[in-house]
Chains A and B, each alone.
Chain A
Amino acid sequence: MIITDLPPLAASLFSLIAIASLLLGFVMLGSRWLRHYIYAFAAESWLIALLSATVGFYGGISDLYIIAALTVLFRGCILPYLILRFISRRGVAREMQVALQPSSSLVAGAFAVIFALAVATHLCRGLALAGTVAVVALTVMLSLKLIGFLMLTVRHEAVSQLLGLLVLENGIFLGAQVLVPGMPLLIETVILFDLLIVVVCFGVLVRYLASHVGSTSALVLNRLVG
């Protein structure tokens, strides 16, 4: 178990990176410009890759360097590039109608973090991990999860919904690096590839939406009820 006997510097580094990713989650929540979401998402992915590499260094797990490289490649470069391409082709620059204003979403996000902290503290107390970096990792993981769901519910633009889903997965990935660094390489790699396929599928669907429905906003998807 590498969480319990970390050097203080490593623990602070992990916490710093985790908290910075959480802040980037708030950047997405507080902005209306789709381009900002993507930059924030890309930065978050780079941070997660940095975290993998740091954990790999301190834990002596060389597999994590491969994961870090793949994370940078897929989440940090290819996915943002693909999504930026959708946006420039569609000509959708910003979220037109939102169910919740960015300022209110920030407040809701803050409550989500408090809730996540409560759950994480409770869990870690039971595991005799209170006061370790596990609390931070768990908090950030659960908060990013909740923030992702918040983005999915209050944003209507197809690209924002896709990014909401990616934030959900980023949270899990971030937590996994700290909590279960020994997770087999095979699983992590396949999940990364899977993400790429998800984004491509979304891309095709967005194209269908634009050509057959006439809009990429989920607000027009209201025919099927009951």
Chain B
Amino acid sequence: MVAHYGFKDGSGDWFLTLDTDKCNGCGKCVEVCPVKILEVGPDEIDPFREEPVASVKHDERKKIRYHCAPCKPGYGSEPPPCVAVCKPGAISHSEGWKACFKDSHQ
């Protein structure tokens, strides 16, 4: 399952996308996230899944635009820590931050 955590509004798309089929629940992303918005626990969407899975904390979903902004996901040579550490490649970010960065640096 592909879970899009975040929101879309007039200013763009602000989503952290997590592919739960790829996620192995290792929890490395939780450790490296500088703002601690991720957690690993039982799958809340699929009650029949046995293995733990990473997700964005409930309270952080509406603030994701601001919390993910310091890492500038989608920009530059270095990927954000959560994406870099994820071996199965389950985490990605939407274009919102990228466009935002381009606007402010041109």
The finding on whether chains A and B are genuine partners in a shared complex, rather than unrelated, reads: no
